[in-house]
Amino acid sequence: MTDRDMIVCRCEEVTYGELVDTAGQFACNSRELKLRTRAGMGYCGGRTCRSLVDAIALAATERDVTQITLKYQPPVRPVHFGDLGAIPND
């Protein structure tokens, strides 16, 4: 296993190599890199990978001072699929 095979976004299984290649190919800012690779769009909402995705995008392009870094939002509350379709007993 090489450094490029290291999984950065565990939720979406995005590797370091995918992020670096995409950032280099498209000169992505953080938001575009997230949208192109889905890194940070999984269950955790980017809590584990956001800073590394932002750093990779910064290394690939020049930072625009007006650019806003990625934000993350924690999940409101996990819900089981069975609860969504359950019929309440009267």
- Given a contact cutoff of 8 angstroms between Cβ atoms, the answer to whether 57 and 33 are in contact is yes
- Hunting for tokens 């069975």 — which residue is that? 82
Predicted confidence at residue 46, as pLDDT, reads 85
Beta-strand pair 7-9/14-15: antiparallel
Give the residue with greater pLDDT, 68 vs 33.
33
pLDDT tier, 72 (very low <50, low <70, confident <90, very high otherwise): low
Predicted confidence at residue 19, as pLDDT, reads 95
Mean pLDDT of the chain: 83
Give the residue with greater pLDDT, 66 vs 54.
54
Taking the model in full, what pTM does it have?
A: 0.69
Cα 34 off chain centre by? 5
Token pair, residue 43, equals: 């269950």
What's the average model confidence in pLDDT over 29-52?
88
- Residue 14's φ and ψ, nearest 5 degrees, are -95, 130
What is the C-alpha to C-alpha distance for residues 77 and 13, in angstroms, rounded to an integer? 22
